[in-house]
Structure 1
Amino acid sequence: MRLERARRKSGIRKVLHFTLQNPTTQLSNWNANFRHLTNDAAPLRMLWHFVEWNFGFASRNPAMKLPRETNDKYVVEAVLKALDVLESFRDSEELQLSEISKRVSLNKSRAFRLLHTLCERGYVERGTDGHRYRLGIKLFEHASSLRRDVKQVAQPYMRKLQLRFNETVNLAVLHGGEVLYIDLLESSRPFRMSAMVGSRMPIANTSLGKALITHAAEHDLEAVFDTLTPTELRKLRAEMEIVKRRGYATDQEENEPGVACIGAPIVSEAGVSVGALSISGPSSRILKQEREIGATLAATCKEISRQMGFAERGMPQAMPNRNAVVRRAGN
């Protein structure tokens, strides 16, 4: 009896040891080696069936297989998926687990684990009903730290603009082919816009985007131009010429119904845009003061640019290449 018990324990240890050491080995490769151990012992037969079912389940279910999405051996797939989850949210919307799972093409179990981890670190928060998720405050804290140099220089001027016109003042940068809001001062009036710190907006139909792209670096220009149709590209190039001529861009309800916006670029020492300021509000109020707001905003951004090191001493050396990109885009 003791010999039989010892044999069973030894068999169990062998099965478990092999299972832990070779978790991805096909069952067919070690089937014959261990099945003879289970022929005369009920506990070992139960253990065998448990191992066989668990290791065979993934091979019988293609959905469980997770092929790599990139051939780059230095890319961590789990981090990519976590970023996919974050990018599935659009501004301040709240999403259910099923919606997130569908958007990022993950099963609910894996999507839930990623969401739980992001919630633990503050990058995602649960909604009040406990079933929905939204972007967490940690993301907005990081967004507010982006381009801190531009933000620090611009903030006193933003306060002056807000006091003078009592309209919403926005500060944004070009990031990932979009307009990224990094600071704003709201009007004391009840009218509110949809933008907030961390929001992303398209370039072609926002005054901030038009102001930023007019003096953007060569690689940013090419990246944006490649995403536009010929009609959209011609329209954007025309807007860019207007910004160069008068110093500011306009958005007349192109991005948000009932809202107009006037924006001007902030450029670096090299003459490349590092940010843009805009004043936005109801179309009826903004368009009535377009010239005054535009002139004030353009002068303010020039002063900020001077503090950022820019001096109008002619075209910097990097600019001819940039102009060539614009010309090629028009052909």
Structure 2
Amino acid sequence: MTSEYSGVPDTVIGKVMLILHAFEVDDHDLPLAEIVRRTGLHKATVHRLARELVEARMLDRTEIGYRLSGGLFELGMRASVERSLLEIAMPFLQDLYARTRETVHLGVLDGHEVLYVAKIGGHRQASAPSRTGGRMPLHCTGIGKALLAHSDVELRQEVLSAPLARRTPRTIIAPGLLAAHLDTVRENGIAFEYEESTIGIACVAAPILDVGTNDAVAAVSVTGPLTRYRPEPHADAVRAAATGIAATLHRRRALQN
């Protein structure tokens, strides 16, 4: 397995990004040899840049090798859009969790994927593959479909014209069928997922729409296992949370202007 970074690896910045992106969600520590294998960079180059990244607090040196440092977390929390969105959305997400007692997500559009900004779940939370800072495809997740249905024509066409990965037997991979599904999502303002990303999981999601442009800023969802959870009864609560977040964002921006 190699790094997913697709930038310019021949520059110093490109090589640094290759090293940082070599760490996956489940990784804690990586030996130097594994970073070399994943990046395809020369061992001496990785060793030199890793040492400099440790000095810059982007990596920590461990007994095994290296791990991502808290300095990256600090930088991430300074990302203005996600930070202000999270600050505003969190009370609504907490209220939604209190009402449903199921896993609540907040996600934003990042390329052809959902980037999960927040995830709230209790002791019995669904064993969904999503996690804060993680990514999932747009076409097979509730949040992804809510975002895609309200995206511009170009992005929608890019996703529909690309191969749609089948993650489960219920994943919608026919472009025409998915397009019709997205039209329904846009019309109703709500998206459902039934075992399309993960077997045994269902989800209901709603877009957080910019009051001025009607573009999707983000989306919120409630997910649970089909053994006890049905998403339809929670549609109004999820839609109300999304509307509340959108209105609060609008007021915050109006005050700042």
TM-score, length-normalised on structure 1?
Answer: 0.62
Partner residue of 1:90?
24
**Alpha-carbon distance in 2 for matches of 1:190, 1:265:** 22
Matched positions, count = 234
| Structure 2 counterpart of 1:173, from 85, 94, 108 | 108
The structure with higher relative contact order (CA 8 Å, sep 6+) is: 2
Could you tell me which residue of structure 1 aligns to residue 11 of structure 2? 77
- CA 1:99–1:169 in structure 2 vs 1: closer, same or farther (change >3 Å)? same
* Aligned mates of 1:126, 1:232 — CA distance in 2: 47
* Residues in 2 aligned to 1:206 and 1:187: alpha-carbon distance in whole angstroms: 21
Distance 2:84 2:55 in 1: 30
CA distance in 1, matches of 2:75, 2:229: 31
**In structure 2, what is the equivalent of residue 136 of structure 1?**
69
Give how far 1:201 is off.
1.4
Q: Map residues 219-258 of structure 1 onto 2, 5 A cutoff.
A: 219-228=154-163, 231-258=173-200
Counterparts of 2:19 and 2:142 in 1: how far apart (Å)?
A: 30
Secondary structure of 1:286's match?
A: coil
In the alignment, the residues of structure 2 paired with residue 138 and residue 99 of structure 1 have an alpha-carbon distance, to the nearest angstrom, of 22
Distance across 1 between alignment mates of 2:59 and 2:162: 30
1:1-331 equivalences in 2 (<5 Å):
77-94=11-28, 95-126=30-61, 130-146=63-79, 147=81, 148-189=83-124, 192-228=127-163, 231-268=173-210, 269-287=212-230, 290-309=231-250
CA RMSD of superposed structures (Å) = 2.9
The AA in structure 1 aligned to 2:214 is: G
Q: Please give the TM-score of this superposition, normalised by the length of structure 2.
A: 0.78
Structure 1 pair 151–190 and aligned structure 2 pair: CA distance change class (3 A)? closer
Structure with the bigger percentage of helix? 1
Mapped contact 1:205–1:251 kept (Cα < 8 A): yes
Q: Which has the larger radius of gyration?
A: 1
Moved more, 78-87 or 179-188: 179-188
Separation of aligned partners in 2, 1:113 and 1:257:
44
The 3-state SS of whatever aligns with 2:54 is helix
Gaps of 5+ in 2: 1-6, 166-172, 252-257
In structure 1, how many angstroms separate the alpha carbons of the residues matched to 2:36 and 2:98?
45
Given that residues 124 and 136 in structure 1 are in contact (C-alpha distance below 8 angstroms), is that contact kept between their aligned partners in structure 2?
yes
> Cα deviations across residues 254-277 of structure 1 (Å, max 9, x unaligned)?
223433222111111201111010
The 2-side partners of 1:137 and 1:283 are apart by 37
Q: Identity over aligned residues, as a percent?
A: 30
